Amino acid sequence: MILTTMVFKANKLPLFLFFFFLCITSTLALAHHQTETEQDLQREYHRCLQRCQEQKQQPGQQQQQQQQCQQRCERQRQEQEERHEREHREGRQREQGGGRDPQQEYQQCQRRCQVDPRSPARGQQQQQCQQRCEERRQEQERQQQEYQQCQQRCQQQEQGQGKQQQQQRCQQRCEDERQPQEQRDNAQEQPQEEERNNPYFLDEQSFKERIKTEHGYTRVSRRFSKISNLLRGIENYRLGFFEANPSTFLIPHHLDADAIFVVVQGRGLINLIHQQDRNSYNLERGDVIRVPAGALIYLINRDNNDKFQIVSLVKPVSTPTNKFREFFGVGGENPETFYNTFSDEILEAAFNTDKKGLDSLFRQQRKGGIVQASQEQIRALSRDVSSSRQRSPKWSRHSSQSWRPFNLLNQRPTHSNEYGQLYDVTPNDYPQLQDLDVAVSYHKINQGAMVAPFYNSRATSLVVVVNGEGRFEMACPHLSSSQTQIKEGRETREQEQKLELFDGPKSQRSSITKNSLHYSGRSSSLHCGIG
Protein backbone atom coordinates (compact mmCIF):
# COMPACT_ATOMS: atom_id res chain seq x y z
CA MET A 1 0.00 0.00 0.00
CA ILE A 2 1.34 3.42 -0.96
CA LEU A 3 0.07 6.41 0.99
CA THR A 4 0.75 9.86 -0.42
CA THR A 5 0.13 13.42 0.69
CA MET A 6 0.82 16.61 -1.22
CA VAL A 7 0.97 19.96 0.54
CA PHE A 8 1.65 23.05 -1.52
CA LYS A 9 3.08 26.42 -0.61
CA ALA A 10 1.15 29.59 -1.14
CA ASN A 11 2.74 31.25 -4.14
CA LYS A 12 1.64 33.15 -7.19
CA LEU A 13 1.28 30.11 -9.43
CA PRO A 14 -0.88 27.02 -9.01
CA LEU A 15 0.76 23.61 -9.24
CA PHE A 16 0.22 21.57 -12.38
CA LEU A 17 0.86 17.83 -12.34
CA PHE A 18 0.54 15.05 -14.87
CA PHE A 19 0.12 11.53 -13.49
CA PHE A 20 0.94 8.28 -15.24
CA PHE A 21 -0.81 5.41 -13.48
CA LEU A 22 0.72 2.04 -14.29
CA CYS A 23 -1.92 -0.49 -13.38
CA ILE A 24 0.48 -3.34 -12.44
CA THR A 25 1.10 -5.14 -9.44
CA SER A 26 44.79 5.64 16.66
CA THR A 27 44.06 9.36 16.48
CA LEU A 28 47.36 10.31 14.82
CA ALA A 29 47.21 7.45 12.42
CA LEU A 30 43.63 8.28 11.55
CA ALA A 31 44.45 11.94 11.00
CA HIS A 32 47.42 11.06 8.78
CA HIS A 33 45.29 8.63 6.78
CA GLN A 34 42.56 11.21 6.50
CA THR A 35 44.95 13.84 5.11
CA GLU A 36 46.29 11.43 2.52
CA THR A 37 42.79 10.40 1.54
CA GLU A 38 41.66 14.00 1.15
CA GLN A 39 44.64 14.66 -1.08
CA ASP A 40 43.74 11.62 -3.18
CA LEU A 41 40.16 12.85 -3.48
CA GLN A 42 41.34 16.31 -4.52
CA ARG A 43 43.68 14.85 -7.14
CA GLU A 44 40.89 12.68 -8.53
CA TYR A 45 38.59 15.71 -8.65
CA HIS A 46 41.13 17.73 -10.65
CA ARG A 47 41.73 14.78 -12.99
CA CYS A 48 37.98 14.64 -13.61
CA LEU A 49 37.91 18.36 -14.42
CA GLN A 50 40.89 17.90 -16.70
CA ARG A 51 39.02 15.22 -18.61
CA CYS A 52 36.15 17.68 -19.03
CA GLN A 53 38.59 20.25 -20.45
CA GLU A 54 40.00 17.68 -22.85
CA GLN A 55 36.52 16.77 -24.01
CA LYS A 56 35.91 20.42 -24.81
CA GLN A 57 38.80 20.37 -27.26
CA GLN A 58 37.32 17.48 -29.20
CA PRO A 59 35.12 18.24 -32.22
CA GLY A 60 31.39 18.34 -31.61
CA GLN A 61 31.55 19.05 -27.87
CA GLN A 62 29.55 22.02 -26.66
CA GLN A 63 29.75 24.26 -23.62
CA GLN A 64 26.65 22.77 -22.02
CA GLN A 65 28.12 19.26 -22.22
CA GLN A 66 31.28 20.52 -20.53
CA GLN A 67 29.23 22.10 -17.72
CA GLN A 68 27.35 18.84 -17.22
CA CYS A 69 30.69 17.02 -17.02
CA GLN A 70 31.95 19.49 -14.38
CA GLN A 71 28.74 19.06 -12.39
CA ARG A 72 29.27 15.28 -12.38
CA CYS A 73 32.82 15.82 -11.10
CA GLU A 74 31.50 18.05 -8.31
CA ARG A 75 28.83 15.54 -7.27
CA GLN A 76 31.32 12.68 -7.25
CA ARG A 77 33.73 14.72 -5.10
CA GLN A 78 31.02 15.59 -2.58
CA GLU A 79 29.80 12.00 -2.37
CA GLN A 80 33.33 10.67 -1.83
CA GLU A 81 34.12 13.29 0.83
CA GLU A 82 30.87 12.61 2.68
CA ARG A 83 31.50 8.87 2.60
CA HIS A 84 35.09 9.33 3.78
CA GLU A 85 33.99 11.68 6.55
CA ARG A 86 31.43 9.18 7.84
CA GLU A 87 33.96 6.35 7.81
CA HIS A 88 36.51 8.52 9.62
CA ARG A 89 34.00 9.64 12.24
CA GLU A 90 32.82 6.09 12.88
CA GLY A 91 36.42 4.89 13.23
CA ARG A 92 37.28 7.71 15.64
CA GLN A 93 34.21 7.00 17.73
CA ARG A 94 35.21 3.36 17.98
CA GLU A 95 38.73 4.35 19.09
CA GLN A 96 37.68 7.08 21.52
CA GLY A 97 34.32 5.83 22.67
CA GLY A 98 32.31 8.62 21.06
CA GLY A 99 32.45 12.36 20.60
CA ARG A 100 33.07 14.55 17.56
CA ASP A 101 35.35 17.49 16.85
CA PRO A 102 33.06 20.36 15.78
CA GLN A 103 35.95 22.48 14.50
CA GLN A 104 37.33 19.70 12.32
CA GLU A 105 33.92 18.90 10.88
CA TYR A 106 33.35 22.62 10.32
CA GLN A 107 36.56 22.83 8.28
CA GLN A 108 35.57 19.79 6.25
CA CYS A 109 32.15 21.28 5.63
CA GLN A 110 33.73 24.55 4.45
CA ARG A 111 36.00 22.63 2.07
CA ARG A 112 32.95 20.97 0.54
CA CYS A 113 31.50 24.44 -0.07
CA GLN A 114 34.62 25.58 -1.92
CA VAL A 115 33.39 24.95 -5.44
CA ASP A 116 35.91 25.00 -8.24
CA PRO A 117 35.65 28.36 -10.14
CA ARG A 118 35.08 26.48 -13.36
CA SER A 119 31.99 24.87 -11.92
CA PRO A 120 28.58 26.52 -12.51
CA ALA A 121 27.60 25.91 -8.83
CA ARG A 122 28.81 29.07 -7.04
CA GLY A 123 27.63 32.44 -5.68
CA GLN A 124 24.50 32.33 -3.57
CA GLN A 125 24.54 28.53 -3.40
CA GLN A 126 28.04 28.61 -1.89
CA GLN A 127 27.06 31.25 0.68
CA GLN A 128 24.09 29.17 1.77
CA CYS A 129 26.37 26.14 2.13
CA GLN A 130 28.80 28.10 4.33
CA GLN A 131 25.93 29.39 6.48
CA ARG A 132 24.74 25.81 7.06
CA CYS A 133 28.29 24.85 8.09
CA GLU A 134 28.36 27.64 10.71
CA GLU A 135 24.94 26.71 12.11
CA ARG A 136 25.98 23.08 12.23
CA ARG A 137 29.22 23.92 14.10
CA GLN A 138 27.40 25.96 16.74
CA GLU A 139 24.88 23.19 17.32
CA GLN A 140 27.63 20.56 17.64
CA GLU A 141 29.56 22.69 20.15
CA ARG A 142 26.44 23.08 22.26
CA GLN A 143 25.80 19.33 22.22
CA GLN A 144 29.41 18.55 23.07
CA GLN A 145 29.33 20.97 25.99
CA GLU A 146 26.19 19.33 27.37
CA TYR A 147 27.78 15.90 27.01
CA GLN A 148 30.96 17.00 28.83
CA GLN A 149 28.95 18.60 31.64
CA CYS A 150 26.98 15.39 32.03
CA GLN A 151 30.21 13.37 32.28
CA GLN A 152 31.65 15.84 34.80
CA ARG A 153 28.63 15.44 37.03
CA CYS A 154 29.17 11.70 36.96
CA GLN A 155 32.85 12.12 37.86
CA GLN A 156 31.98 14.36 40.83
CA GLN A 157 29.90 11.67 42.48
CA GLU A 158 31.41 10.36 45.70
CA GLN A 159 33.57 7.25 45.41
CA GLY A 160 32.86 4.26 47.62
CA GLN A 161 31.23 0.85 47.78
CA GLY A 162 28.42 0.75 45.21
CA LYS A 163 29.25 4.22 43.96
CA GLN A 164 31.30 2.96 41.02
CA GLN A 165 28.32 1.17 39.50
CA GLN A 166 26.19 4.30 39.93
CA GLN A 167 28.89 6.33 38.21
CA GLN A 168 29.00 3.89 35.31
CA ARG A 169 25.21 4.03 34.96
CA CYS A 170 25.41 7.82 35.00
CA GLN A 171 28.01 7.81 32.23
CA GLN A 172 25.90 5.39 30.23
CA ARG A 173 22.90 7.74 30.50
CA CYS A 174 25.07 10.56 29.13
CA GLU A 175 26.06 8.34 26.22
CA ASP A 176 22.47 7.21 25.59
CA GLU A 177 21.30 10.84 25.46
CA ARG A 178 24.07 11.79 23.03
CA GLN A 179 23.65 8.97 20.51
CA PRO A 180 20.02 9.62 19.42
CA GLN A 181 20.88 13.28 18.95
CA GLU A 182 23.84 12.35 16.76
CA GLN A 183 21.62 10.06 14.70
CA ARG A 184 19.21 12.93 14.05
CA ASP A 185 22.10 15.26 13.28
CA ASN A 186 23.60 12.78 10.83
CA ALA A 187 20.25 12.57 9.06
CA GLN A 188 20.10 16.36 8.79
CA GLU A 189 23.77 16.56 7.83
CA GLN A 190 23.32 14.64 4.59
CA PRO A 191 19.95 15.56 3.03
CA GLN A 192 21.29 15.63 -0.50
CA GLU A 193 22.94 12.25 -0.15
CA GLU A 194 19.73 10.80 1.29
CA GLU A 195 17.78 12.00 -1.73
CA ARG A 196 20.48 10.64 -4.04
CA ASN A 197 20.20 7.29 -2.24
CA ASN A 198 16.42 7.44 -2.03
CA PRO A 199 15.06 4.77 -4.40
CA TYR A 200 12.05 6.97 -5.15
CA PHE A 201 14.12 9.96 -6.22
CA LEU A 202 15.65 10.21 -9.70
CA ASP A 203 18.44 12.71 -10.24
CA GLU A 204 19.99 13.70 -13.57
CA GLN A 205 22.24 10.63 -13.53
CA SER A 206 19.09 8.54 -13.89
CA PHE A 207 18.49 10.03 -17.34
CA LYS A 208 20.48 9.75 -20.54
CA GLU A 209 20.42 12.06 -23.54
CA ARG A 210 19.52 10.13 -26.68
CA ILE A 211 19.41 13.03 -29.14
CA LYS A 212 21.05 16.41 -28.58
CA THR A 213 21.47 19.39 -30.90
CA GLU A 214 21.37 23.16 -30.47
CA HIS A 215 17.66 22.99 -31.39
CA GLY A 216 16.48 20.48 -28.78
CA TYR A 217 16.97 17.08 -27.19
CA THR A 218 15.42 13.85 -25.99
CA ARG A 219 16.19 12.23 -22.62
CA VAL A 220 15.19 8.80 -21.33
CA SER A 221 15.44 7.27 -17.88
CA ARG A 222 17.47 4.19 -17.15
CA ARG A 223 15.67 0.94 -16.42
CA PHE A 224 13.95 1.42 -13.09
CA SER A 225 15.25 -1.92 -11.81
CA LYS A 226 18.80 -0.63 -12.43
CA ILE A 227 18.04 2.36 -10.20
CA SER A 228 16.66 0.23 -7.36
CA ASN A 229 15.42 -3.33 -6.89
CA LEU A 230 12.35 -1.81 -5.25
CA LEU A 231 11.27 -0.62 -8.69
CA ARG A 232 11.30 -4.01 -10.41
CA GLY A 233 7.52 -3.86 -10.79
CA ILE A 234 7.83 -1.13 -13.43
CA GLU A 235 11.15 -2.17 -14.99
CA ASN A 236 9.44 -2.62 -18.38
CA TYR A 237 8.72 1.11 -18.58
CA ARG A 238 10.90 4.19 -19.14
CA LEU A 239 10.18 7.88 -18.68
CA GLY A 240 11.21 10.26 -21.45
CA PHE A 241 11.35 13.99 -22.16
CA PHE A 242 11.40 15.78 -25.51
CA GLU A 243 11.98 19.48 -26.09
CA ALA A 244 12.24 21.36 -29.40
CA ASN A 245 12.92 25.04 -29.95
CA PRO A 246 10.51 27.16 -32.03
CA SER A 247 10.31 26.26 -35.75
CA THR A 248 12.27 23.00 -35.51
CA PHE A 249 11.48 19.35 -36.13
CA LEU A 250 12.65 15.88 -35.14
CA ILE A 251 13.47 14.04 -38.35
CA PRO A 252 11.56 10.85 -39.29
CA HIS A 253 12.40 7.78 -37.21
CA HIS A 254 10.78 4.83 -35.49
CA LEU A 255 11.15 3.15 -32.09
CA ASP A 256 11.18 -0.50 -31.14
CA ALA A 257 8.91 0.49 -28.25
CA ASP A 258 5.32 1.51 -27.62
CA ALA A 259 4.97 5.03 -26.23
CA ILE A 260 2.40 7.38 -24.74
CA PHE A 261 3.10 11.06 -25.50
CA VAL A 262 1.63 13.82 -23.28
CA VAL A 263 2.05 17.42 -24.46
CA VAL A 264 2.89 19.68 -21.50
CA GLN A 265 3.81 22.90 -23.33
CA GLY A 266 3.60 24.48 -26.75
CA ARG A 267 1.96 23.65 -30.07
CA GLY A 268 3.28 20.97 -32.37
CA LEU A 269 2.47 18.49 -35.05
CA ILE A 270 3.01 14.76 -35.33
CA ASN A 271 3.09 12.81 -38.57
CA LEU A 272 2.53 9.10 -37.98
CA ILE A 273 2.79 6.31 -40.56
CA HIS A 274 1.63 2.92 -39.26
CA GLN A 275 1.10 -0.07 -41.52
CA GLN A 276 -0.94 1.33 -44.44
CA ASP A 277 -2.18 4.46 -42.66
CA ARG A 278 -0.63 7.93 -42.71
CA ASN A 279 -2.05 10.52 -40.30
CA SER A 280 -1.00 14.01 -39.24
CA TYR A 281 -2.32 15.69 -36.10
CA ASN A 282 -1.92 19.09 -34.51
CA LEU A 283 -0.88 18.76 -30.88
CA GLU A 284 -1.58 21.14 -28.00
CA ARG A 285 -1.17 21.14 -24.24
CA GLY A 286 -3.15 18.30 -22.70
CA ASP A 287 -3.07 16.06 -25.78
CA VAL A 288 -2.41 12.36 -25.13
CA ILE A 289 -1.46 10.14 -28.07
CA ARG A 290 -0.17 6.60 -28.37
CA VAL A 291 2.69 5.88 -30.78
CA PRO A 292 2.89 2.15 -31.58
CA ALA A 293 6.22 0.38 -31.90
CA GLY A 294 7.56 0.48 -35.46
CA ALA A 295 5.46 3.48 -36.52
CA LEU A 296 7.42 6.06 -38.53
CA ILE A 297 6.99 9.48 -36.93
CA TYR A 298 8.31 12.99 -37.06
CA LEU A 299 7.53 15.86 -34.69
CA ILE A 300 7.39 19.57 -35.52
CA ASN A 301 7.29 22.62 -33.27
CA ARG A 302 4.99 24.83 -35.35
CA ASP A 303 5.16 27.76 -32.92
CA ASN A 304 7.42 30.73 -33.66
CA ASN A 305 8.02 31.67 -30.02
CA ASP A 306 7.41 28.87 -27.51
CA LYS A 307 9.24 25.60 -26.98
CA PHE A 308 7.42 22.35 -27.62
CA GLN A 309 7.67 19.89 -24.70
CA ILE A 310 6.46 16.32 -24.37
CA VAL A 311 6.62 13.83 -21.50
CA SER A 312 6.52 10.23 -22.65
CA LEU A 313 6.01 6.84 -21.08
CA VAL A 314 7.86 4.20 -23.11
CA LYS A 315 7.51 0.41 -23.03
CA PRO A 316 10.19 -1.43 -25.05
CA VAL A 317 8.95 -4.41 -27.04
CA SER A 318 12.29 -6.23 -27.19
CA THR A 319 12.57 -8.88 -24.47
CA PRO A 320 14.22 -9.86 -22.21
CA THR A 321 16.65 -6.92 -22.40
CA ASN A 322 13.94 -4.21 -22.37
CA LYS A 323 16.25 -1.97 -24.37
CA PHE A 324 15.09 0.28 -27.18
CA ARG A 325 16.51 2.88 -29.52
CA GLU A 326 15.60 5.34 -32.25
CA PHE A 327 16.06 4.15 -35.83
CA PHE A 328 16.62 6.82 -38.48
CA GLY A 329 16.06 5.83 -42.10
CA VAL A 330 17.19 9.13 -43.61
CA GLY A 331 20.42 9.90 -41.82
CA GLY A 332 24.16 10.03 -42.24
CA GLU A 333 26.95 10.71 -39.79
CA ASN A 334 24.60 12.45 -37.32
CA PRO A 335 22.21 10.79 -36.78
CA GLU A 336 23.45 7.55 -38.25
CA THR A 337 20.99 5.77 -40.52
CA PHE A 338 20.24 2.14 -39.69
CA TYR A 339 20.86 1.35 -43.38
CA ASN A 340 24.57 1.67 -42.64
CA THR A 341 24.28 -1.76 -41.04
CA PHE A 342 24.00 -3.31 -44.51
CA SER A 343 26.75 -3.66 -47.07
CA ASP A 344 26.95 -1.34 -50.07
CA GLU A 345 26.31 -4.26 -52.41
CA ILE A 346 22.99 -5.07 -50.74
CA LEU A 347 21.91 -1.40 -50.66
CA GLU A 348 22.88 -0.82 -54.30
CA ALA A 349 20.76 -3.77 -55.35
CA ALA A 350 17.85 -2.87 -53.05
CA PHE A 351 17.64 0.80 -54.14
CA ASN A 352 18.84 0.25 -57.70
CA THR A 353 21.55 2.88 -57.45
CA ASP A 354 25.33 3.15 -57.32
CA LYS A 355 27.59 4.13 -54.41
CA LYS A 356 27.30 7.82 -55.27
CA GLY A 357 23.56 7.54 -55.06
CA LEU A 358 23.81 5.81 -51.67
CA ASP A 359 25.99 8.63 -50.35
CA SER A 360 23.40 11.14 -51.52
CA LEU A 361 20.58 9.20 -49.87
CA PHE A 362 22.06 8.13 -46.55
CA ARG A 363 25.37 9.80 -45.74
CA GLN A 364 24.96 13.55 -46.05
CA GLN A 365 22.99 14.27 -42.88
CA ARG A 366 25.32 15.84 -40.27
CA LYS A 367 23.08 18.34 -38.49
CA GLY A 368 21.69 15.97 -35.89
CA GLY A 369 18.26 14.53 -35.19
CA ILE A 370 16.55 17.86 -34.41
CA VAL A 371 17.00 20.57 -37.05
CA GLN A 372 15.76 24.05 -37.93
CA ALA A 373 12.85 24.33 -40.37
CA SER A 374 11.76 27.24 -42.52
CA GLN A 375 8.19 28.50 -42.46
CA GLU A 376 7.68 27.09 -45.97
CA GLN A 377 8.83 23.66 -44.81
CA ILE A 378 6.55 23.77 -41.78
CA ARG A 379 3.56 24.76 -43.91
CA ALA A 380 4.33 21.93 -46.35
CA LEU A 381 4.66 19.41 -43.54
CA SER A 382 1.47 20.68 -41.87
CA ARG A 383 -0.89 20.01 -44.77
CA ASP A 384 -3.91 17.76 -44.24
CA VAL A 385 -3.63 17.73 -40.45
CA SER A 386 -6.40 17.25 -37.93
CA SER A 387 -6.67 18.20 -34.27
CA SER A 388 -7.81 16.43 -31.15
CA ARG A 389 -9.98 19.47 -30.43
CA GLN A 390 -12.22 18.67 -33.40
CA ARG A 391 -15.31 16.57 -32.89
CA SER A 392 -14.70 12.91 -33.57
CA PRO A 393 -16.81 9.75 -33.51
CA LYS A 394 -16.94 7.41 -30.56
CA TRP A 395 -13.49 6.01 -29.86
CA SER A 396 -12.63 2.49 -30.95
CA ARG A 397 -9.34 0.63 -30.96
CA HIS A 398 -9.92 -0.51 -34.54
CA SER A 399 -11.62 2.52 -36.13
CA SER A 400 -9.90 4.84 -38.58
CA GLN A 401 -9.84 7.42 -35.79
CA SER A 402 -8.10 5.11 -33.32
CA TRP A 403 -4.74 6.90 -33.46
CA ARG A 404 -6.21 10.37 -33.03
CA PRO A 405 -4.89 12.17 -29.91
CA PHE A 406 -7.16 12.64 -26.92
CA ASN A 407 -7.16 16.02 -25.16
CA LEU A 408 -8.01 15.41 -21.52
CA LEU A 409 -8.26 19.15 -20.76
CA ASN A 410 -11.27 19.34 -23.12
CA GLN A 411 -13.20 16.88 -20.97
CA ARG A 412 -15.37 17.56 -17.96
CA PRO A 413 -13.19 17.52 -14.80
CA THR A 414 -13.48 14.41 -12.66
CA HIS A 415 -13.28 16.68 -9.60
CA SER A 416 -13.48 20.46 -9.49
CA ASN A 417 -13.86 23.08 -6.77
CA GLU A 418 -12.26 26.34 -5.68
CA TYR A 419 -9.06 24.48 -4.71
CA GLY A 420 -8.32 22.99 -8.13
CA GLN A 421 -9.33 20.53 -10.81
CA LEU A 422 -8.61 16.92 -11.69
CA TYR A 423 -8.86 15.59 -15.25
CA ASP A 424 -8.16 12.01 -16.24
CA VAL A 425 -8.28 9.69 -19.21
CA THR A 426 -8.55 5.92 -18.85
CA PRO A 427 -8.66 3.04 -21.36
CA ASN A 428 -12.46 3.37 -21.26
CA ASP A 429 -12.11 6.89 -22.65
CA TYR A 430 -9.14 6.28 -24.95
CA PRO A 431 -8.83 2.59 -25.88
CA GLN A 432 -5.23 3.01 -27.11
CA LEU A 433 -4.16 3.05 -23.46
CA GLN A 434 -5.49 -0.46 -22.92
CA ASP A 435 -2.54 -2.43 -24.28
CA LEU A 436 -0.07 -0.53 -22.11
CA ASP A 437 -2.37 -0.75 -19.06
CA VAL A 438 -1.98 2.98 -18.41
CA ALA A 439 -4.15 5.89 -17.38
CA VAL A 440 -3.20 9.58 -17.48
CA SER A 441 -4.47 12.37 -15.24
CA TYR A 442 -3.86 16.08 -14.85
CA HIS A 443 -4.05 17.99 -11.56
CA LYS A 444 -4.28 21.72 -11.10
CA ILE A 445 -3.83 22.57 -7.42
CA ASN A 446 -4.36 26.21 -6.49
CA GLN A 447 -2.07 28.11 -4.15
CA GLY A 448 -2.44 27.17 -0.51
CA ALA A 449 -4.41 24.02 -1.34
CA MET A 450 -3.51 20.36 -0.87
CA VAL A 451 -4.52 16.89 -1.95
CA ALA A 452 -5.71 14.82 1.02
CA PRO A 453 -3.81 11.60 1.85
CA PHE A 454 -4.82 8.78 -0.48
CA TYR A 455 -3.64 5.36 -1.56
CA ASN A 456 -4.10 3.05 -4.51
CA SER A 457 -3.01 -0.53 -3.89
CA ARG A 458 -3.55 -1.54 -7.53
CA ALA A 459 -1.53 1.12 -9.35
CA THR A 460 1.92 2.66 -9.42
CA SER A 461 1.97 6.42 -10.02
CA LEU A 462 4.58 8.41 -11.92
CA VAL A 463 3.99 12.08 -11.08
CA VAL A 464 5.41 14.76 -13.35
CA VAL A 465 5.16 18.33 -12.01
CA VAL A 466 5.28 20.70 -14.96
CA ASN A 467 4.81 24.02 -13.17
CA GLY A 468 4.58 25.42 -9.64
CA GLU A 469 6.14 24.72 -6.26
CA GLY A 470 5.07 22.45 -3.46
CA ARG A 471 5.80 19.64 -1.04
CA PHE A 472 5.28 15.92 -1.53
CA GLU A 473 5.04 13.29 1.19
CA MET A 474 4.58 9.56 0.95
CA ALA A 475 4.87 6.42 3.02
CA CYS A 476 7.90 4.41 1.92
CA PRO A 477 7.39 0.68 2.40
CA HIS A 478 11.12 -0.10 2.34
CA LEU A 479 11.85 1.82 5.57
CA SER A 480 11.97 -0.16 8.81
CA SER A 481 10.47 0.94 12.10
CA SER A 482 13.97 1.44 13.50
CA GLN A 483 14.30 4.51 11.29
CA THR A 484 11.41 6.34 12.92
CA GLN A 485 13.58 8.80 14.84
CA ILE A 486 15.61 9.69 11.77
CA LYS A 487 12.40 10.11 9.81
CA GLU A 488 11.01 12.51 12.46
CA GLY A 489 14.03 14.74 12.16
CA ARG A 490 13.91 14.62 8.38
CA GLU A 491 10.25 15.56 8.08
CA THR A 492 10.77 18.88 9.88
CA ARG A 493 12.56 20.42 6.93
CA GLU A 494 12.33 20.71 3.18
CA GLN A 495 14.87 19.01 0.96
CA GLU A 496 15.33 20.67 -2.40
CA GLN A 497 17.17 19.45 -5.44
CA LYS A 498 16.94 21.05 -8.85
CA LEU A 499 17.51 19.33 -12.14
CA GLU A 500 17.22 20.93 -15.55
CA LEU A 501 15.20 18.32 -17.41
CA PHE A 502 13.63 21.03 -19.50
CA ASP A 503 16.25 23.67 -20.29
CA GLY A 504 15.13 27.24 -19.74
CA PRO A 505 14.55 29.88 -17.05
CA LYS A 506 14.23 29.09 -13.37
CA SER A 507 10.48 28.58 -13.69
CA GLN A 508 11.19 25.54 -15.85
CA ARG A 509 13.91 23.92 -13.79
CA SER A 510 13.04 20.65 -12.24
CA SER A 511 13.69 17.81 -9.87
CA ILE A 512 12.43 14.28 -9.94
CA THR A 513 11.28 11.71 -7.47
CA LYS A 514 9.73 8.34 -8.15
CA ASN A 515 6.70 6.43 -6.86
CA SER A 516 5.30 8.74 -7.20
CA LEU A 517 8.00 9.97 -9.58
CA HIS A 518 7.97 13.70 -9.09
CA TYR A 519 9.12 16.09 -11.79
CA SER A 520 8.98 19.64 -10.46
CA GLY A 521 8.78 22.83 -12.46
CA ARG A 522 10.42 24.81 -9.67
CA SER A 523 11.40 22.98 -6.52
CA SER A 524 10.15 20.00 -4.61
CA SER A 525 10.69 18.09 -1.42
CA LEU A 526 10.22 14.37 -0.93
CA HIS A 527 9.63 13.08 2.59
CA CYS A 528 9.55 9.33 3.26
CA GLY A 529 7.75 7.97 6.28
CA ILE A 530 7.19 4.45 7.55
CA GLY A 531 4.84 2.38 5.41
pLDDT the model gives residue 59? 53
Global confidence as pTM: 0.57
pLDDT-derived band at 336, boundaries 50, 70, 90: low
* pLDDT greater than 60 at residue 469: yes
* pLDDT greater than 70 at residue 161: no
The average pLDDT across 274-296 equals 85
Distance (Å, whole) CA 254 – CA 293: 7
* pLDDT greater than 60 at residue 30: no
pLDDT the model gives residue 238? 86
Q: Among 119-128, 200-209, 294-303, 459-468, which stretch is predicted with the lowest mean pLDDT?
A: 119-128
The average pLDDT across 49-64 equals 64
What does pLDDT average to over the chain? Answer: 69
Contact residues for 472 (Cβ-Cβ < 8 A; gap 6+): 4, 5, 6, 463, 513, 516, 518, 524, 525, 526, 527
* pLDDT greater than 70 at residue 416: yes
The average pLDDT across 179-203 equals 57
pLDDT the model gives residue 331? 55
pLDDT digits (tens, 9 = 90+) for 93-134: 544 444 556 777 777 777 767 654 444 445 666 777 777 788
* pLDDT greater than 70 at residue 189: no
Helices 124-155 and 163-189 sit at what angle, rounded to 10 degrees?
Answer: 170
Q: What is the b/e burial string over 183-196, where b = at least 16 CB atoms within 10 angstroms of the residue's CB?
A: eebebbbbbeebbb
Distance (Å, whole) CA 417 – CA 45: 53
Residue 129's nearest CA partner among 113, 105, 150 is: 113
Residue boundaries of the structural domains of the chain:
1-24+437-531, 41-201, 222-328+369-403
pLDDT the model gives residue 106? 79
pLDDT the model gives residue 287? 93
Higher pLDDT, residue 26 or 316: 316
Look at residue 1 and give its three-state secondary structure.
coil
Residue 378: in which H helix or E strand, if any? helix 375-381
Instruction: Specify the CATH number for 222-328+369-403; select among 2.130.10.10, 3.40.50.2300, 2.60.120.10, 3.40.50.300.
Output: 2.60.120.10
pLDDT the model gives residue 335? 59
pLDDT digits (tens, 9 = 90+) for 197-221: 567 777 667 788 887 888 888 888 8
